[in-house]
Amino acid sequence: MLKILSFFTPKMCAVRFKTLNKCRTSIGLKPLQDYKLLYKAENIDVSSDTDRDWLMPHWAETFNIVKVGKRSDPTFSREIISFYDKDNNIIERLFRQNGMNTRKEIYSKGYKSRTIVTKEFVQPKIEAGINVPLKLKNLAGRWRDRISELQIIEEYPVLKQYIKGKRTDKSPVGLYTKRVEYSPSGDKDSVRNITFTKYPINFGFQDPSDKKVISGTLVKNGKDVELTDVRKTDNLKIDLNDEFLKYRFIDPRSDEGLRLLTDYFIKKRGLEPLHIYVNPSSGSVSESSLGYFWNGELHYSKRLQKLPSSEAVDTVAHEVEHAYQHAQIGRLGKSESRYETEAERLLPPIETNEIKSAVKYAIARDVYPVKNKSMDNPLYRDNYLEVKAREAGGKAKDMYQANKDNYEFFNWFGMHKF
């Protein structure tokens, strides 16, 4: 149904409007609202509006428009257009001022979650004096990411809910939000503020101020990222000295998290000079595995994104350990691959107390099975390289989970792709 409400526009300049309001308040009247509704239409079929088709997301079915003006400025207008899909879920909200795009919010639904990405319109650079039509300006500009917010809703149907003493059918819900704000200028990832908020489970009587919040700023520093300015509410038990805190902020399962965590373990093992290649979402990892190391390359499976973050930590530490083992074989002078030769060339000579284990690595390499890399195959399972890599992975995973408060808190927010 199309509803149109039109209002009379009084001709009044800003100065006269202010003067009028001064008079009104001085005699005890309420000041006039400057904003006024100019136009409102709901549930419009996208195909019925060919004027705006260039604004619409292609999967939109219907849209609503609200247009407001100012009493003090008849040339001013602000428009909010909301687009909906065939199931009437909101998919996009576009904000415009005087016919120009200013901002848009893009909504996407996941399982018990939704993400809202806010983009800011960057106007195209046009030389002064050149008259460009509005539509062209809108089309020539670009959108820049400003905020990305993940909202996770957790329902607790087993908990009985009473509101004002009466039993209701409503289940209490918990809300978790992860909000990332990008710097308004420069590279999208150069500076980011991340805020995690855990709202109290809503039984209908909680004070929303009971929410638990932690925030921090991630600043790009060369290949690495630094976590600074960490703040939290007093009611949140978080250990700020946690060695994995930065990775928990980023999420070890994300492409960036996997890369940075790999660098962290590479540094621990002194392998930086080898410039190991990292592919965080590789299509070449077999079904039976979550990652592999081969001749200076680390590949992680996309399946890690759907597993607990502790699995990513385990996998990274495991694969970096393989990188270490092969570097040790190279330093021992038993190079067979390009990577092992590079290790021999670029790393210092092997320490005397490391020779014994390096010899074991070299023997295990020579009998390492080429096929059937599954735990059912004893040649793979009991191979010394595998045994030691599993040990390293398990140790890292234990350390990651040992900090229970931190592990559990950040785990609530799940995997968030930006």
Instruction: List contacts with Zn ion (CB under 5 A).
Output: 386, 389
Query: What is the bridge-based pairing of β-strands 113-122 and 142-155?
Result: antiparallel
Cα separation, 240 vs 25, whole angstroms: 52
Task: Select 202 or 289, whichever has its Cβ closest to Zn ion.
Answer: 289
Task: Select 94 or 343, whichever has its Cβ closest to Zn ion.
Answer: 343
The least distance separating Zn ion from the CB of residue 358, rounded to whole angstroms, comes to 17
Task: Select 342 or 386, whichever has its Cβ closest to Zn ion.
Answer: 386
Are 225 and 246 within 8 A, CB to CB?
A: yes
Cα separation, 220 vs 256, whole angstroms: 12
Half-sphere CA count of 403, side-chain side, radius 13 A: 19
Tokens of 417: 């792709």
Chain position whose Cβ is nearest to Zn ion = 389
Name the one residue in this structure whose structure tokens are 């492409």: 255
The least distance separating Zn ion from the CB of residue 318, rounded to whole angstroms, comes to 6
Task: Select 91 or 320, whichever has its Cβ closest to Zn ion.
Answer: 320
The least distance separating Zn ion from the CB of residue 309, rounded to whole angstroms, comes to 20
Are 323 and 361 within 8 A, CB to CB?
A: no
Task: Select 362 or 389, whichever has its Cβ closest to Zn ion.
Answer: 389
Task: Select 220 or 381, whichever has its Cβ closest to Zn ion.
Answer: 381
Q: Is 286 helix (H, G, I), strand (E, B) or coil?
A: coil
The least distance separating Zn ion from the CB of residue 345, rounded to whole angstroms, comes to 25
The least distance separating Zn ion from the CB of residue 244, rounded to whole angstroms, comes to 22
**Alpha-carbon separation of residue 67 from 37, 85, 94, 397 (angstroms):** 6, 21, 12, 54
Tokens of 230: 């960490």
Task: Select 74 or 394, whichever has its Cβ closest to Zn ion.
Answer: 394
Question: Kind and range of the H or E element at 394?
Answer: helix 384-402
The least distance separating Zn ion from the CB of residue 215, rounded to whole angstroms, comes to 37
Task: Select 152 or 317, whichever has its Cβ closest to Zn ion.
Answer: 317
Task: Give the amino acid at 337.
Answer: S
Task: Give the amino acid at 3.
Answer: K
SS3 for 63-120, per residue? EEEEEEEECCEEEEEEEEEEEECCCCCEEEEEEEECCEEEEEEEEEEECCEEEEEEEE
392, exposed or middle or buried, with CB in 10 Å at 0-12, 13-18, 19+?
buried
Question: Kind and range of the H or E element at 18?
Answer: helix 14-26
Sign of the Cα torsion 266, 267, 270, 276 reads positive
The least distance separating Zn ion from the CB of residue 302, rounded to whole angstroms, comes to 18
Task: Select 234 or 287, whichever has its Cβ closest to Zn ion.
Answer: 287
The least distance separating Zn ion from the CB of residue 388, rounded to whole angstroms, comes to 9
The least distance separating Zn ion from the CB of residue 373, rounded to whole angstroms, comes to 8
